[in-house]
Amino acid sequence: MSIKRLTLFGGDPEFSRTLHVGTPNIGDTKRFLTRVENLLNRRVLTNRGPLVRELESRMTELLSVKHCVTMSNGTAALEIATRALNFKGNAIVPALTFVATAHALEWQRVRPIFADIMPTTHHLDPRWIRRLATSLTSGVIPVNLWGRTVDIDAVVAEATMRDLAVVFDSSHAFGCTYKGKPVGGFGDAEIFSFHATKFVNTFEGGAVTTNDDALAERIRLMQNFGFADRDEVIHVGINGKMNEVQAAMGLTSVEAMKGFISHNHENYCAYLEGLRYLDGINLIEYDAAERNNYQYIVIEVDDVVTGLHRDQLMQVLHTEGVDARRYFYPGCHRMEPYRSRPKPNGQDLKLTDEMLARVLTLPTGTAVTTGDIRRVVALMQRIHERRNDISRKLAKNDRTTRLTNSRR
Ligand code: T4K
């Protein structure tokens, strides 16, 4: 049987319909539309209507936490939670995260100070809290990247010793556990994102969860202009509210989440099985002893072993209709306004930089079938077999482009 030619060598793309990282999970459309119809009939569209209240109550149960305050998005959740905890001066965050983690601080004139990671987990290395904290530091935002949790005990111990507030950015970790306990009740507060690309979504949306009654009350005030009652404003606040349509989607999404997880898990297993034999391509694994949502399929590409750089692999996948993403390249510390600033302690984030040159995220979610994954895996096997030819061809293309540009 002849091997299908790669697009790079004149063949047709493997996929005519592009596979994406982050195509939304929808759930039961009918249930969603019924909720929307009912909310329109009720004419309660926002301002903590019945669907928002139902979603918050459902989430506190799911996450075993006392308070859940839904938000217009995850970034607003970060901004409000950190402000309610009086973050000021600077705060420690990993550079390997979506830029919103840093921007949420910077937006409030709290300077993000970037910490390096533990390469085995991609998470903030707790020892960097010790290294970076000064008298100006008020808090830490560890990120539960890919739904795997940071070493929560170590991070909280380092932070508590220095009297630093801790807000976990758990945007990726809804439905996940740490030592068997649901993510949501750790640190001073945790935040979630329910953006369309997240495994449970509310189109746009987010939430802050906490076990601290006074903090929850402050957050609720700040999210709704500081209103304690009609005509009674007792706190400074903004508009960070989730609306009823978002909550309708959230409830529909939460009802379907078991199915989403099992679909994602099957996809993860198909990748795990198929990529196992490709030298230099390592799928990051999820601890079977913990619950995960398996919403991210992340590989590390070792270019020395494969002979193919991550960017070359990505380029070839793109030509075949697989929209692999290099989340979160080049890292917050290499984005403005942060990259123009002095390095923390004059140090490079060596491990973060190395990881960001290797990491690639592959399509999954309910819009991607296990059959699609088998094809992606077979494609990657073909790419792996022809890695030397690919490398040569891409280098030649690069040379030709450079030559053409220089003649213009
Ligand atoms: N902290 C962390 C650790 C985060 O990851 C995020 C968000 C936040 C904080 C902030 O939370 P939010 O304020 O966003 O709630 C996406 C999301 O925009 C972003 O929410 C998310 N992280 C990040 C990881 O991913 P992009 O640049 O990948 O988005 P985009 O538009 O390229 O979407 C990815 C793919 O998904 C598209 O190629 C196609 C597909 N897609 C996307 C949308 C929006 C669809 O098929 N339908 C859709 O409606 O950032």
The torsion of the CA quartet 63, 150, 365, 251, rounded to 10 degrees, works out to 20
Q: What is the pLDDT of residues 288-328, one digit of tens each?
A: 999 999 999 999 999 999 999 999 999 999 999 999 999 99
Residue located nearest, by CA, to atom 44 of ligand 1: 196
What pLDDT, on a 0 to 100 scale, did the predictor assign at position 3? 60
Beta strand pairing call for 123-124 and 137-140? unpaired
Residues 353 and 232 in one domain: no
Number of structural domains in the chain? 2
Q: Is residue 39 part of a domain?
A: yes
pLDDT of 116 strictly over 80: yes
Beta strand pairing call for 189-193 and 19-20? unpaired
Residues 118 and 221 in one domain: yes
Q: Which of 253, 280, 300 is the last residue of a domain?
A: 253
Q: What is the pLDDT of residues 5-59, one digit of tens each?
A: 899 999 999 999 999 999 999 999 999 999 999 999 999 999 999 999 999 999 9
Residues 86 and 225 in one domain: yes
The answer to whether 357 and 300 have CB atoms below 8 angstroms apart is no
Q: What is the pLDDT of residues 180-219, one digit of tens each?
A: 999 999 999 999 999 999 999 999 999 999 999 999 999 9
Q: Which of 193, 219, 253 is the last residue of a domain?
A: 253
Residue located nearest, by CA, to atom 50 of ligand 1: 197
Average pLDDT over residues 87-107: 98
Q: Is residue 321 part of a domain?
A: yes
Where residue 394 falls among pLDDT bands split at 50, 70, 90? confident
Tell me, in angstroms, the distance from the centre of ligand 1 to residue 295's CA: 12
pLDDT of 237 strictly over 90: yes
* Assigned token pair, 388: 């030397």
Q: What angle do CA 174, 119, 189 make, to 5 degrees?
A: 35
Question: Whole-angstrom Cα distance, residue 87 to residue 79?
Answer: 10
Tell me, in angstroms, the distance from the centre of ligand 1 to residue 244's CA: 21
Which CATH number is 296's domain given?
3.90.1150.10
Question: Whole-angstrom Cα distance, residue 368 to residue 15?
Answer: 12
The answer to whether 199 and 175 have CB atoms below 8 angstroms apart is yes
Best residue for ligand 1 mutational test, from 73, 105, 193, 249 (most atoms within 8 Å of Cβ)? 193
Burial of 36 (0-12, 13-18, 19+ CB in 10 A): middle
Which CATH number is 239's domain given?
3.40.640.10
Residues 135 and 248 in one domain: yes
Tell me, in angstroms, the distance from the centre of ligand 1 to residue 196's CA: 7
Residues 293 and 225 in one domain: no
> Domain range spanning residue 58?
29-253
Pocket of ligand 1 (CB under 6 A): 20-24, 73-75, 97-98, 100-101, 143, 169, 171-172, 193, 195-197, 206, 323
Q: Is residue 335 part of a domain?
A: yes
* Assigned token pair, 107: 């937006």
Residues 15 and 156 in one domain: no
